[in-house]
Structures are given as C-alpha cells and as structure tokens.
C-alpha cells in the first residue's frame, strides 16, 4: 500500500522537474520513482525507519517486470532519481526530512558486484569488435542482402557518430552530409528526435575501413530515393519483406516503432554472424571509449563530449566555454589519426597501481558516464 503523503511528494517533485525536462522524461522519472514508493510501502519517506531491513538496492534486485527482472540501467536510473528526489525533499521540506542523513542519500548507488561491471562491458563495443564485425559481415553471404546491409551499416554509423538510436532512426537523408562530415541533429528543421530535443551539429570519426561503409550506403540511399524527399526520408531506410522479396518502403509511416525494430534487427545481425549481441546504445559507448583513448588534449576531450551532445564535460568545462563548430569538426574528423593518449605523470601515479582489468573498468565507466 503506497503512502499518500509519499505519492503527493513525488508528484510535487515531478512538478518541480517539469520546467527542466521533457514530458517524455517526466513519464520515465515517474516510472523509476514508483519503485521507491512501493519499497517504502505505508511508511513516510522522511522517516528513518524505512531504511531498516533490506536496503533499497537489495529490493531493486528482486523487482520483476513483464520482461523479467529490472535491467541494470533501470536500477541505476531509479537510484539516480531517488537521490535527486531526496536532495530536493531535504531542501524543500527540511523539517520532515531532517532524520534522513546526506550520507545515506549519497549511498543510493548500484551494488558493486559482478553484475554491474559485466553489464557495462557488454554494453560497450571495442575498436577490435567493430572491425571484427566488419570483417565477418563482408565475408558472409549477408553482404548481398540489402536489409542486413542496412543493419550492418547502422552499427558502423552509430560507432562513428555516437548518435543515440532514437535520433538515428529519425534522421533524414539530408541531415547527413558526408561531403562536409556534418550530421544535423536538428529537431526543428529535420525532425530528429534527440534527447530533450537538443539541437546540435555533430560529426563522424573518419576511421579508415569504417567510414567507407557509411559512404557506400549514403550513395545507395540517395540513388533510390527521389531528391525532393531527402529532407524527410529516413537515412536508415525501412524495407518490406514479403515472401522473401525485400523492397524499400517509399512512403514510410511514423517513426514510432523504428527504435524497437532496430534492436530486433541488431539481434538478427549478430545472431547470423555468430557474434555476441550488442544493442544500438553499445555503439555510442564504443564511440565514447574510442574518443577517451585517442583524445590527447582537453580540447579533444571536450570535442568528444560535445559530439555526444552533452552540456558539459566534467574536466574541461571550466577551461573551455565551448569550441567553435569548425574546431570540433576538425578534431572529430582527425581523431582517428591520433595515437592512444598517454597520461601525464600525476594521472599515471594514480592509474599505475591498478590492474589491467581495473584500468579497463575505468575507461568503460568513464565512457558509460559520457554516453548517458
């Protein structure tokens, strides 16, 4: 039974968040915070008693959904928003929440066990893995299947661009200009569904062996779709498959199910290539890891961060107010030619005692933060 005071407090918190996030994000935050309400049951969230017995993290480990247990990402988001809720509650209702210690709020983080590290690794595509994907696909019979070729190209494109899957499937042909190496993630002009409707021009890594895959598909899609439709027709073209005959859809419907379909197609792609499955977001993580490994200067690091359409990068925001468009374009376009960065002496003294596995975790967790 959900405590009514708790319910009203969470609704008040959502009202406070409304000015800074989209309606879609509010719906997701409500979904995550429902777990906090159900865990508290009939006890008021401002009372210390709710922290007795099983911890909130332990409770989340056993929450069941229609698809099984909560995903690692859902548990992380639930804890993130629970921390944010409690900080807001202490600021706005200090008397009612005085018994809630700041140290406890800070402790609302995922349990550090094998599940988290393995999940992070599984969600990241390494440089070796993307080239293995290219090699296996090009040697397979799938290379002559136009739908699998689209799926394969999508994976390579997401690695090079770092674009979110939801934005990618709504990106029309004219929003990708490979001659200028520019991607126009512009919701107002091209209808690209970016997170929180942010508008940005981003760029692709010019990695030899990968960028040619994207150029090949770009030439194909422009050859089969009339030029007057390039402003609206999705670069990730939809196909019909009837009795084994695959034909391009000339008048695609709304992009409502394209994200889910992309996940299904990636599943089939990796299954047929006998490779471990990687979801579309894993390629965004791979983009971030690649940038972290190759960025040598704060400007390069900041360019990678901005290419992921982040408001700031933790390390460089105090130094750089923002890079000019052409500067970011030059950095992203040439980053593939930069050697893997070497840490300075101060950073080396921190990292040197770490094991090989711990160092990989540092890179993956850093990329995880950048990609989200």
The mean pLDDT of 184-196, rounded to a whole number, is 93
pLDDT category at 177 given cuts 50, 70, 90 is: very high
Least reliable range by pLDDT among 137-141, 156-160, 194-198, 333-337: 333-337
Higher-confidence position of 351 and 193: 193
Q: What is the pLDDT of residue 133?
A: 96
Please state, in angstroms and as integers, the Cα–Cα distance from residue 48 to each residue in 8, 51, 54, 231, following that order: 19, 6, 13, 56
Closest CA to 287 of 201, 195, 364, 175: 364
- For residues 45 and 116, the model is more confident at 45
Q: With cut-offs at 50, 70 and 90, classify the pLDDT of residue 324.
A: low
Give the pLDDT band of residue 34 (cuts 50, 70, 90). Answer: very high
Output phi, psi for 160, to 5 deg: -75, -30
Average pLDDT (40-60) is: 73
List the CATH code of the domain at 125-372.
1.10.443
Mean pLDDT, all residues of the chain: 82
CB 271 within 8 A of CB 140: no
Going from the C-alpha of 294 to that of each of 63, 144, 339, the distances in angstroms are 40, 34, 6
Average pLDDT over residues 342-370: 68
The answer to whether 170 and 192 are in contact (CB under 8 A) is yes
What is the rounded average pLDDT of the residues 334-339? 76
Least confident among 16-30, 208-222, 249-263, 267-281: 249-263
In DSSP terms, 201 is beta-bridged to 184
* Token couple for 234: 């999705």
Q: What pLDDT score does 179 carry?
A: 96
Q: How many other C-beta atoms are found inside a 10 Å radius of the C-beta of residue 14?
A: 16
Q: Is 109 helix (H, G, I), strand (E, B) or coil?
A: coil
pTM: 0.59
Instruction: Estimate to the nearest angstrom the gap between the alpha carbon of 320 and the chain centroid.
Output: 24
| Mean pLDDT of the 30-54 span | 78
Cβ contact 285:293 at 8 Å:
no
pLDDT (tens digit, 9 = 90+) per residue, 144-169? 999 999 999 999 999 999 999 999 99
Does the structure show a pLDDT above 50 at 121?
no
| pLDDT at residue 296, as a whole number | 79
Residue 351: pLDDT over 60: yes
Mean pLDDT of 55-72: 79
pLDDT above 70 covers a percentage of the chain that reads: 83
| 288 contact partners, CB below 8 Å, separation of at least 6 | 162, 304, 308, 366, 367, 368, 370, 371
CA 368 to CA 159: how far, in whole Å? 14
Q: How far is CA 220 from the centre of its chain?
A: 28
Whose CA is closest to 124, among 353, 342, 298, 292? 292
Q: Sorting pLDDT into bands at 50, 70 and 90, what band is 116?
A: very low
Structure tokens at 306: 């901005």
Structural domain boundaries in the chain? 4-111, 125-372
Q: State residue 346's pLDDT score.
A: 62
pLDDT of residue 249: 85
User: Which of residues 285 and 344 earns the better pLDDT score?
Assistant: 285
pLDDT of residue 319: 32
* Helix or strand run (H / E) with residue 73: helix 72-92
Q: Give the whole-angstrom CA distance, residue 301 versus residue 331.
A: 9
Q: What is the mean pLDDT of residues 60-70?
A: 78
Q: What is the pLDDT of residue 360?
A: 72
pLDDT of residue 12: 93
Q: How many CB atoms lie within 10 A of CB 29?
A: 21
* Helix, strand, coil % in the chain, rounded to nearest 5: 60, 5, 35
Pairing status of strand 182-185 against strand 176-177:
antiparallel
Distances (CA, A) of 75 to 60, 179, 291: 6, 42, 27
pLDDT of res. 317: 37
Nearest to 307 by CA among 122, 158, 166, 174: 158
**In 3D, which of 25, 30, 10 has the Cα closest to residue 197?**
25
Residue 150: the pLDDT is 95
pLDDT of residue 112: 58
d(CA 197, CA 191): 9
- Residue-level pLDDT at 244: 65
Note the pLDDT tens digit of each residue in 309-318: 876 544 333 3
Q: What is the pLDDT of residue 146?
A: 93
Residue with structure tokens 């599984």?
A: 122
Residue 105 contacts residue 87 (beta carbons within 8 Å): yes
């Amino acid at each position: 039974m959900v405590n009514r005071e708790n319910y009203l407090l969470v609704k008040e918190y959502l009202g406070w968040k409304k000015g800074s996030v989209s309606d879609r994000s509010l719906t997701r935050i409500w979904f995550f915070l429902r777990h906090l309400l159900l865990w508290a049951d009939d006890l008021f969230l401002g009372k210390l008693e709710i922290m007795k017995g099983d911890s909130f993290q332990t409770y989340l480990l056993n929450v069941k959904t229609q698809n099984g247990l909560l995903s690692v990402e859902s548990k992380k988001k639930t804890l993130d928003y629970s921390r944010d809720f409690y900080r807001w509650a202490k600021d706005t209702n200090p008397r009612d929440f005085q018994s809630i210690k700041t140290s406890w709020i800070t402790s609302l983080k995922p349990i550090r066990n094998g599940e988290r590290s393995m999940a992070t690794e599984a969600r990241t595509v390494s440089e070796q893995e993307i080239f293995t994907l290219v090699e296996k696909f090009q040697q397979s019979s799938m290379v002559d299947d136009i739908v699998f070729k689209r799926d394969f190209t999508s994976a390579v494109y997401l690695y090079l661009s770092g674009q979110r899957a939801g934005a990618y499937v709504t990106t029309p042909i004219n929003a990708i200009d490979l001659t200028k190496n520019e991607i126009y993630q512009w919701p107002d002009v091209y209808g690209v569904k970016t997170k929180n409707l942010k508008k940005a021009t981003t760029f692709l890594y010019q990695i030899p062996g990968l960028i040619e895959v994207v150029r090949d598909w770009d030439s194909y899609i422009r050859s089969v779709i009339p030029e007057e439709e390039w402003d609206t027709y999705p670069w990730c073209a939809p196909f019909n498959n009837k009795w084994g005959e695959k034909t391009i859809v000339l008048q695609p419907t709304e992009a409502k199910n394209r994200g889910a379909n992309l996940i299904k197609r990636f599943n089939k792609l990796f299954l047929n290539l006998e490779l471990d499955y990687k979801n579309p977001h894993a390629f965004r993580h791979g983009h971030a890891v690649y940038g972290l490994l190759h960025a040598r200067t704060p400007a390069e690091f900041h360019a990678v961060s901005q290419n992921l359409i982040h408001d700031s990068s933790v390390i460089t925001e105090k130094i750089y107010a923002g890079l000019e468009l052409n500067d970011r374009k030059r950095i992203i376009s040439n980053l593939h030619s930069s050697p893997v960065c070497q840490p300075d002496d101060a950073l080396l003294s921190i990292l040197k005692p770490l094991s090989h596995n711990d160092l990989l975790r540092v890179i993956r967790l850093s990329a995880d933060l950048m990609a989200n």
